[in-house]
Structure formats: C-alpha cells, structure tokens
A and B are shown apart, each in its own frame.
Chain A
Amino acid sequence: MKLYLKIWRQKDASTPGKIVDYTLEGVEGDMSFLEMLDILNEELVSKGEEPVEFDHDCREGICGTCSLQINGEPHGPDRLVTTCQLHMRKFNDGDTIVIEPFRATAFPVIKDLIVDRSAFERIQQAGGYISVNTSGNTIDANSIPINKYDADEAMDAATCIGCGACVAACKNASAMLFTSAKVSQFALLPQGRVEATERVQSMVRQMDLEGFGNCTNTGACEVECPKGISLTNIARMNREYLSATSKG
C-alpha cells in the first residue's frame, strides 16, 4: 500500500520542530508500524537524509519503550497493543498518517519522536519498591498466603510497562494511571503494606513535582493503555492517599 506520512521532525530539545510530509510505497499489511518506519528510514538514509528517530527495544509489546501518537491516539487506533505490535493492516492504501511524539511538559522531546520519560523513573524511585533484604537471607514471597482476588489485582496493576500512553492520551497530560498502578501493585500485597503510607505520599508528591496535569476522570488513559490498566487503580490511589495523609 501507499501511505502519506506526516511526521514530527525536531532536531533537538531546544530547536522548534515541524511536521514533514513523506510518501511511502510498498508497505505490507503484515508489517508492524515500526517496520514501516524502518523502511522509511532506509529510504531516507539511501538518499543521504537524516532518518526519523523513534524509541524501540523489544518489539514484543512488553518493554514499554516504543511510543508515538498515531493519528491522534497513543499507540495508534488499535486497542491493547503497543506501537510495535500495531500492524499496517489496520490502515488502508492511500491513508494519511500523522505521527507525533507523546506530548506532555513532563515528557520533553529529545529528538524527532523520542521523548524523555525519565519523570516516570523518578516517580518510581520515590516509593515504587519494598525495602527487603535480598543479600542471602531472602524470605520466599510465597510463604505469605494472599487471597486470589488481591493477587490478581496486584498482578494486573503490575503489568503496567510505563510507556506513557496514559499521559499522552489524557487531555490534561495526567500521570495518575501510571502512578496509581505502581501504588496499587504494592498496596494490595502484605509485603507492600509496611511502607504504604509513605509510598503513596512520596509518589504523588513526585508526580506533582514533575508537572503532570490533574485527573478529571475522562477515562481516556484506560482506553488507550496497551496493558488495560484499570481506572479502579486511580480510585485505590485516591483512597490510599486520603488514608495516608489523615495518618500524617
């Protein structure tokens, strides 16, 4: 198929970017979206032009590295997939595809389609862990019985790959789905309860410091999340925080 691509090109963080038009022929439906960009880049390199920079790593939908706002939606029009798992069969011959970086003040553009998502790392570092001794006398996590419902909910929250689609989709660029998933995966388990009070306060504080927007419950994040992280996590974070701040 033949595609008309409108791609955000930006030399570096300090240089203003712009949309550049490309026409790409010979795209197959079985190609992934990133393979389509690979072909474009091969063409650009062969013509001596600068290739389009974009993030990618595992290309198996599990690492959270790929991003891209495709035709106005993070990870494109398909549901529950990352950009690397989005296939070109979702598009038609002659389509125009607008490709932009994830937009948020807290996710500054590094180059072209690559954004700096280290704000997520800092939120995680603020409390997204449990303090246990791992140097030889580790206690088997399975020695503490956990009911099935809580174990499943915690595992569902833990499937968040931190790609940033929630922030990109949200009209307010809010990071509450990400933060709440990271709070929930520990809050639901006895191992996480020990530091639960400090954790939720620290992670929310860091989230606010990074300059993300406020949650207004539109639910866009849940729809666009490639891992189907539920809004119930945000409710859980809200009550965890209320409970934590009332304790002081």
Chain B
Amino acid sequence: MSLIKSSLARKYVMALSGLFLIIFLILHVTINLASVFSPDFFNEASHFMGYNPLVQFLMQPILVIGVIVHFVMGFVLEIQNKKARDVSYVKYKGSANAPWVSRNMIYSGLVILAFLGLHFYDFWVHEMTYKYIEANPEDPTRYYAETVEKFAPFWRTILYVVSFVLLSLHLWHGFASSLQSMGVNNKYTAGFTKFAKIFAVVVPLAFAFIAIYHHLNPITH
C-alpha cells in the first residue's frame, strides 16, 4: 500500500508509462515510414491494425490507458510540485543548473497532448466514422491515399512538425531519465543516455519527414 501512495511510486509510474509509449512510437514510426517507401505494405499494415480484434480491443485500449495514466500523473506531479514551494523566489536561475527541457516537461507534454487531440480527430475519429457510423465495407487499399490527403493542407503539416519538435524535446529528457527513475544508474547509463538522445532526435525527425514528404508529394489523379 505504501508503494501506491509514495512519491517514488509516482516516479515509477511516469517512467514505465513513458517507456511503454516509447515502444508504441517505434511501432508507429515503422508503419508510417512504409507510407513513404512502400504504400502497399502501409495499406496492409494499416488494415491489419484497423481490423485485427486483438489490436482493436486489447492493444488499443491499453495504449489509451497508457496515454491517460502518463498525462494524468504528469498533472498530479505538477500540482504537487507547485505546492512544495508556496512562496516563489524573487530570482530563480534555473538555467544555471538544469537544461530547459528537463524544467519544462509539463509544457512540452501539454503541446503533445493538444497534438494528440488533433491526431485523434484526424485519424481515429475518421476511422470510427468510416467503420461504425457510415458502416462502410472493408477496403484494404484506402489508407495510403487517406494519409497523403491529410497532409495536403499546409497548416496541418506545420502543426504536426511543430508537435514533433516538442515530442523530441520531451523524449530528450524523458527517455534518457526513465531508467534513473526505475533505479538504474550504472556503467551502462552513459551509453543508454546517448542512445535515448539519438532516439529522441531520430524518431520525431522521421515523423516530421513523413508529414513533409506527403505534403510535398500529393497524389495526382
């Protein structure tokens, strides 16, 4: 019981839910890259993800729970941390001892959360409407064209790219410090930190590349 209520448990929850979401990101970026290099495979993979009952009714709810746990715990921590200093400093030089990204995870997180709203509207709401409201038949070839079409508007492409920049900043601190939260800090930590920071740049960069690529290469009929 003491584990559930303690400040350390909140650290574990943030780290584990974050690591879970990172695993999801790897899957997501891999499938998305296929939309650039192999539209046919992208269609197949998207159709599988959209209609496989295990993905739809087990993995998807777990993913949603993972997202909710991560951001709700983030808010809880932020509120508690604000309470822990009831009178603010007149002068506080945070930049002297900690990187900007580590001190502003709540803001990068809020941008990502707002992005998730747009992203859900763009793809998940569309998918639910297609499948369950309009009750359209299965069409395993539609996904590539739908995705490319989404990135036709300049504003949406920009919003996605800006969100990926914030995702990169969030991962830069979050991924690298997740093992520290879980109590792992040993001779492999420096190597892991380097890997985490490369990951924090490469994965959002790949997402941004995909969005920009589809914006610049619309389907012409």
Complex CA–CA separation, A237 to B85 (angstroms)? 23
Please name all residues of chain A whose beta carbon is closer than 8 Å to the beta carbon of B7 when the two chains form the complex. 174, 176, 204, 207-208, 212, 214-215
Interface status of A236 (Cβ within 8 A of chain B): yes
Given A71-B91, A72-B93, A103-B89, are A235 and B184 neighbors across the interface (CB < 8 Å)? yes
Please name all residues of chain A whose beta carbon is closer than 8 Å to the beta carbon of B3 when the two chains form the complex. 245
Cβ contact within 8 Å between B181 and A217: yes
Cβ contact within 8 Å between A208 and B83: no
Q: Which of B2, B6, B89 touches A100 (beta carbons < 8 Å)?
A: B89
Q: How large is the interface on B (under 10, 10 to 19, 20 to 34, 35 or more residues)?
A: 35 or more
Chain A, 1-45, CB within 8 A of any chain B CB: 6, 8, 19
Output the nearest chain A residue to B3 by Cβ-Cβ distance.
A245
Complex CA–CA separation, A105 to B81 (angstroms)? 10
Q: How large is the interface on A (under 10, 10 to 19, 20 to 34, 35 or more residues)?
A: 35 or more
Binary per-residue interface labels of chain A (172-212) against chain B in the complex, 1 for a CB within 8 Å, 0 otherwise: 11101000000000000000000000000100110110011
Cβ contact within 8 Å between B102 and A6: no
Q: Which of B8-16, B34-42, B52-60, B118-126 contacts A (4 or more CB under 8 A)?
A: B8-16
Please name all residues of chain A whose beta carbon is closer than 8 Å to the beta carbon of B6 when the two chains form the complex. 204-205, 208, 241, 245
Complex CA–CA separation, A181 to B86 (angstroms)? 25
Output the nearest chain A residue to B4 by Cβ-Cβ distance.
A245
Interface status of A231 (Cβ within 8 A of chain B): yes
Please name all residues of chain A whose beta carbon is closer than 8 Å to the beta carbon of B90 when the two chains form the complex. 6, 8, 19, 98, 100
Interface status of A159 (Cβ within 8 A of chain B): no
Interface status of A77 (Cβ within 8 A of chain B): yes
Interface status of B173 (Cβ within 8 A of chain A): yes
Interface status of A223 (Cβ within 8 A of chain B): yes
Please name all residues of chain B whose beta carbon is closer than 8 Å to the beta carbon of A109 when the two chains form the complex. 87
Please name all residues of chain B whose beta carbon is closer than 8 Å to the beta carbon of A205 when the two chains form the complex. 2, 6
The secondary structure that dominates the A interface is mixed
Interface status of B114 (Cβ within 8 A of chain A): no
Complex CA–CA separation, A176 to B173 (angstroms)? 18
Closest approach, in angstroms, between the C-beta of B102 and any C-beta of chain A? 4
Output the nearest chain B residue to A246 by Cβ-Cβ distance.
B3
Please name all residues of chain B whose beta carbon is closer than 8 Å to the beta carbon of A77 when the two chains form the complex. 96
Cβ contact within 8 Å between A171 and B103: yes
Closest approach, in angstroms, between the C-beta of B1 and any C-beta of chain A? 9
Closest approach, in angstroms, between the C-beta of B10 and any C-beta of chain A? 6
Interface core residue of B85, B87, B92, B103 (most chain A CB under 10 Å): B85
Cβ contact within 8 Å between A223 and B80: no
Closest approach, in angstroms, between the C-beta of B98 and any C-beta of chain A? 4
Cβ contact within 8 Å between A171 and B81: yes
Interface status of B137 (Cβ within 8 A of chain A): no
Please name all residues of chain A whose beta carbon is closer than 8 Å to the beta carbon of B184 when the two chains form the complex. 235, 239
Residues on A lying within 8 angstroms of B by beta carbon are 6, 8, 19, 69, 71-73, 77, 98, 100, 103-106, 109, 169, 171-174, 176, 201, 204-205, 207-208, 211-220, 223-224, 231-232, 234-242, 245
Residues on B lying within 8 angstroms of A by beta carbon are 2-3, 5-8, 10-12, 77, 80-81, 83-94, 96-99, 102-103, 105, 173, 177, 180-185
**A-B interface, 10 closest residue pairs, ranked by CB to CB distance from nearest:** A239-B183, A72-B93, A213-B84, A235-B185, A238-B183, A172-B81, A217-B177, A223-B97, A218-B98, A173-B84
Give 19 A-B contacts (CB < 8 Å), ordered by A residue.
A72-B89, A72-B96, A100-B91, A171-B94, A205-B2, A208-B6, A214-B81, A216-B102, A216-B177, A217-B177, A218-B98, A218-B99, A218-B103, A219-B98, A219-B102, A220-B94, A237-B8, A241-B8, A242-B183
